[in-house]
């Protein structure tokens, strides 16, 4: 049998011990410390009783009124820091709902958690996981795993697609496509990392191109990586055809911006029996046709017209009074700048509305001014969808293209997908894969909650788990802060 006993120490304090009587001798089993006041003495006695019950399942005949393993003496407590336990629990729950756990790679899913919680380099992510979530990986695991992760893209996309179909009723009828560029913190290029037209104004640095497909709600379902100098119009067909083959799609409409329009793309889409809605570069239309369009729309807000074309399908044009006001302000500003520069031709560089007859003679481009004036407030769209689909519905679909831009904004701002610090192709692809998985989770949370991912993470991070070490028992105690109603 074990018993608790108290004894006076040389310093005048009262020591609390757990003892055993053996052959009429007292053997000290565990020493719980010394107390200098009644409160500390009571706490130590309670700890001793609970220790006996835990070790031997031996219940006291006179139990304490309020037994608790978290009773402690303040002077015997050390603060160890805090962790984001709730944040890890929440993100892990959604990782399981996406069935990412079936990939059987906890290292990958934990990097996804770190990318959402505190986007940083991979090494910093490992430090963050250890410090704030209590999950430790050796650095060697990073070097061992990264080459393997890039091969999981197909499985990840399949699981993300299942979520789109189950949670957002995605039926393949409509997808939105756009591209963006991701630059590297380097000036060395290779067969993948190449300088090109940069959407981040980093034209001197090598980059890659990312093509992204999203649902009408903006939920990402597929992506593809291209060389940094590839013309974005040449990325549409490879991405769409790969998506079509993978999911055996028979009918699909893709919505893309004007950069994707070309005769070759239209031919490829029609040959694959795919429908399209793409922006039209109305400024490149013949002046005669522009005059006809302007006259028929007649500055009537919301007015539309449809013109069959031989190469690109039907051209749908719409006039918007709001767009007219914006275009007018921009044109007036550009004309004033051109007129100002014409006063001192030596200062003229490449400026809109200024044309050069020869090297030393500059004049206002009257034809361009007329064409731009006629097109004020007019936006054009090409489609091969027949008259059974209304002009208004086609325009509405195109206006929803902002969902792709919003997804890119999340990836670049909230997930900090760029700049990229990797140099080998497999680590670059692994990095993009991690960010794609994080983007899918973030977009899901935004769509289901109606709040931005930045606000969601801020709310959950406000709930922390304080870590305390009881020096008397060497027990680590976790205390979670209050969860507010909005967070619940």
When mean pLDDT is compared across 92-101, 113-122, 180-189, the lowest value belongs to 180-189
Question: Could you please report the per-residue DSSP string of 20-54?
Answer: EEETTEEEEEEEEEEESSHHHHHHHHHHHHHHHHH
What confidence score (pLDDT) does residue 363 get? 87
Range with lowest mean pLDDT among 221-235, 371-385, 472-486:
472-486
Q: Is pLDDT at 195 greater than 50 in this prediction?
A: yes
| Other residues' Cβ atoms within 10 Å of the Cβ of residue 216 | 17
Per the prediction, the chain carries an average pLDDT of 90
Closest residue by Cα to residue 156 from 112, 207, 217, 120: 112
pLDDT at residue 65, as a whole number: 45
What's the pLDDT score for residue 108? 97
* pLDDT number for residue 66: 47
Q: What is the mean pLDDT of residues 43-65?
A: 70
The pLDDT of residue 396 is above 50: yes
Least confident of 38-52, 126-140, 178-192: 38-52
User: What's the pLDDT tens digit per position in 138-175?
Assistant: 999 999 999 899 899 999 999 999 999 999 999 888 99
Least Cα distance to 281 among 310, 257, 255 occurs for 257
What is the average pLDDT across 384-407?
A: 93
Residue 306 has pLDDT above 90, yes or no: yes
Q: Look at residue 345 in the predicted model and tell me its pLDDT.
A: 77
Q: Is the pLDDT of residue 124 over 90?
A: yes
Question: Residue 250's pLDDT band (boundaries 50, 70, 90)?
Answer: confident
DSSP string for residues in 283-337: GGS-HHHHHHHHHHHTT-TT-EEEEEETTTEEEEEEE-HHHHHHHHHHHHHHHHH
Q: What CA–CA distances, in Å, run from 449 to 180, 412, 456?
A: 27, 21, 9
68: pLDDT strictly greater than 70: no
Per-residue pLDDT at 64 exceeds 70: no
pLDDT score recorded for residue 67: 44
The pLDDT of residue 63: 52
**Banded pLDDT at 354 (limits 50, 70, 90):** confident
Contact predicate 462/487, CB 8 Å? yes
**pLDDT for residue 61:** 54
- What is the mean predicted confidence (pLDDT) over 177-194? 91
Looking at the chain, the whole-number percentage of residues with pLDDT higher than 90 is 63
Residue 375: its pLDDT value, please? 96
């Amino acid at each position: 049998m074990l018993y608790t006993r108290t004894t006076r120490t040389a310093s005048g304090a009262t020591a609390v011990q757990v003892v055993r009587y053996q052959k009429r001798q007292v053997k000290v089993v565990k020493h719980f410390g010394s107390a200098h006041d009644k409160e500390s003495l009571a706490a130590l006695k309670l700890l001793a009783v609970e220790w006996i019950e835990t070790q031997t399942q031996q219940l006291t005949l006179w139990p304490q009124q309020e037994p608790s393993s978290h009773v402690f003496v303040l002077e015997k407590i050390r603060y160890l820091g805090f962790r984001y336990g709730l944040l890890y629990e929440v993100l892990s729950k959604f990782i399981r709902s996406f069935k990412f756990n079936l990939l059987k790679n906890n290292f990958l899913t934990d990097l996804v958690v770190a990318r959402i919680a505190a986007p940083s380099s991979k090494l910093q992510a490992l430090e963050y996981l250890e410090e704030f979530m209590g999950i430790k990986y050796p650095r060697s695991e990073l070097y061992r795993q990264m080459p393997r992760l890039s091969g999981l893209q197909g499985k990840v996309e399949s699981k993300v697609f299942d979520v789109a179909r189950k949670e957002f009723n995605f039926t393949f009828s409509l997808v939105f496509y756009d591209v963006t560029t991701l630059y590297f913190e380097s000036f060395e290029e290779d067969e993948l990392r190449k300088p090109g037209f940069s959407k981040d104004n980093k034209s001197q640095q090598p980059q890659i191109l990312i093509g992204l497909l999203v649902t009408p709600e903006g939920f990402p379902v597929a992506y593809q990586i291209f060389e940094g100098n590839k013309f974005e119009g040449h990325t549409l067909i490879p991405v769409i055809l790969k998506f079509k083959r993978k999911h055996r799609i028979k009918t699909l409409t893709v919505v893309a911006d004007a950069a994707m329009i070309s005769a070759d793309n239209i031919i490829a889409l029609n040959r694959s029996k795919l429908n399209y809605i793409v922006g039209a570069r109305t400024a490149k239309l013949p002046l005669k046709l522009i005059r006809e369009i302007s006259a028929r729309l007649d500055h009537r807000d919301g007015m539309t017209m449809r013109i069959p074309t031989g190469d690109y399908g039907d051209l749908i044009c719409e006039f918007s009074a709001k767009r007219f006001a914006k275009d007018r302000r921009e044109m007036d500003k550009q004309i004033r700048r051109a007129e100002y520069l014409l006063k001192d031709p030596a200062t003229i560089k490449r400026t809109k509305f200024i044309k050069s007859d020869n090297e030393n003679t500059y004049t206002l481009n009257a034809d361009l001014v007329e064409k731009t004036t006629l097109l004020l407030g007019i936006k054009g769209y090409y489609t091969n969808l027949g008259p059974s689909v209304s002009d208004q519905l086609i325009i509405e679909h195109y206006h929803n293209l902002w969902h792709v831009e919003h997804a890119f904004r999340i990836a670049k701002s909230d997930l900090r997908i760029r700049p990229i610090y990797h140099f080998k192709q497999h680590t670059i692809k692994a990095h993009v894969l991690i960010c794609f998985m994080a983007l899918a989770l973030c977009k899901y949370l935004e769509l289901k909650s109606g709040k931005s991912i930045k606000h969601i993470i801020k709310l959950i991070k406000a709930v922390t788990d304080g870590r305390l070490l009881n020096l008397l028992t060497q027990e680590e105690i976790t205390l979670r802060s209050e969860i507010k109603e909005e967070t619940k």
